[in-house]
């Protein structure tokens, strides 16, 4: 299946998490939280054809790591994926809204300069600001809003702005999450786990738990599991074909589905 937002390097035993995801054949977008994590993340996935690494700078630590933005220029051309990036409007981060916005705008600008990227975007308590930021840029590629938690009005706006969405088991357990998932166009839906930050029954979710999100979507869409799998794999193929790497590095691989 597909786990389009997972922090493989933040598990207690990262190499085991990578090995399990690889053995289970899950297509994983391994998002990083700081640009400095990029080289190590690349090493971790050697020999895992279904795992891709995204270059990220998480909004929760944007104020501590702004100086690492230059690494987007250094590593950016090695990947089609940027994430985890975005904005977080939680009260404890109120003092850092300016630096978060500066970082997010810079990453969007760099994504555009590099020919566009697929972006895994965090928007907790900042949906409107994220959508405003996206609207103020162009040619940055395709935004994928991970764990969307805004209102239905904001969801309609996001859809109009061309956003895709990745939904996980934790989101799809709540009535609000289910209602949101129902409104998302099927052809813009992907699954995720957000492990190890998201939990199920006090256990951190693992990439293979993305199957549980597929089951929830089958119920929401009223189709059988096989049909959901085929929709989601088709979506992944469609999404990854939308962005091309403009300066391919020697270590960039491509295959049928997860390009
Ligand atoms: Zn995350």
Triad 135, 136, 142: Cα angle to 5°: 50
Q: The pTM is what?
A: 0.95
Q: What is the C-alpha to C-alpha distance for residues 115 and 128, in angstroms, rounded to an integer?
A: 25
The answer to whether 54 touches 84, Cβ cutoff 8 Å, is yes
Ligand 1 centroid from CA 131, angstroms: 18
Q: What is the pLDDT along the chain (259 residues), one digit of tens a residue?
A: 999 999 999 999 999 999 999 999 999 999 999 999 999 999 999 999 999 999 999 999 999 999 999 999 999 999 999 999 999 999 999 999 999 999 999 999 999 999 999 999 999 999 999 999 999 999 999 999 999 999 999 999 999 999 999 999 999 999 999 999 999 999 999 999 999 999 988 899 999 999 999 999 999 999 999 999 999 999 999 999 999 986 555 445 555 577 6
pLDDT of residue 250: 47
Count of helix runs (H) and strand runs (E) in the chain: 11, 10
Ligand 1 centroid from CA 5, angstroms: 6
Q: What is the C-alpha to C-alpha distance for residues 24 and 1, in angstroms, rounded to an integer?
A: 9
CATH superfamily of 2-241: Metal-dependent hydrolases (3.20.20.140)
**90 token code pair:** 């939680």
Q: What are the sequence ranges of the domains in the chain?
A: 2-241
Ligand 1 centroid from CA 238, angstroms: 23
**CA 245, chain centre distance (Å):** 18
Phi, psi of 128 (to 5 degrees): -60, -45
Ligand 1 centroid from CA 197, angstroms: 7
Ligand 1 centroid from CA 28, angstroms: 13
Ligand 1 centroid from CA 205, angstroms: 12
pLDDT of residue 200: 86
Ligand 1 centroid from CA 136, angstroms: 24
Q: Are strands 164-167 and 189-191 parallel, antiparallel or unpaired?
A: parallel
């Amino acid at each position: 299946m597909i786990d389009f937002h997972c922090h493989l390097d933040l598990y207690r035993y990262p190499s085991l998490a990578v090995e399990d995801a690889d053995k289970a054949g899950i297509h994983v977008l391994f998002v990083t939280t700081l640009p400095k994590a990029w080289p190590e993340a690349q090493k971790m996935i050697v020999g895992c054809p279904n795992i891709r690494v995204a270059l990220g700078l998480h909004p929760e630590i944007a104020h501590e790591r702004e100086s690492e933005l230059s690494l987007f220029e250094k590593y950016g051309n090695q990947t089609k994926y940027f994430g985890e990036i975005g904005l977080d409007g939680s009260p404890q981060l109120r003092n850092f809204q300016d630096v978060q916005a500066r970082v997010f705008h810079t990453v969007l600008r760099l994504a555009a300069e590099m020919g566009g990227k697929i972006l895994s975007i965090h928007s907790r308590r900042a949906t409107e600001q994220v959508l405003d930021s996206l609207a103020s840029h162009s040619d940055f590629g395709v935004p994928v809003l991970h764990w969307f938690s805004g209102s239905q009005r904001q969801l309609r706006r996001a859809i109009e702005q061309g956003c895709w969405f990745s939904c996980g088991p934790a989101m799809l357990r709540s009535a609000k999450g289910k209602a949101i998932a129902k409104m998302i166009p099927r052809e813009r839906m992907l699954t995720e786990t957000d492990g190890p930050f998201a939990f199920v029954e006090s256990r951190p979710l693992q990439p293979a738990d993305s199957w549980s999100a597929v089951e929830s979507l089958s119920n929401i869409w009223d189709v059988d599991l096989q049909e959901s799998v085929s929709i989601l794999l088709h979506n992944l193929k469609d999404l990854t074909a939308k962005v091309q790497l403009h300066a391919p590095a020697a270590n960039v691989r491509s295959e049928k589905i997860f390009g």
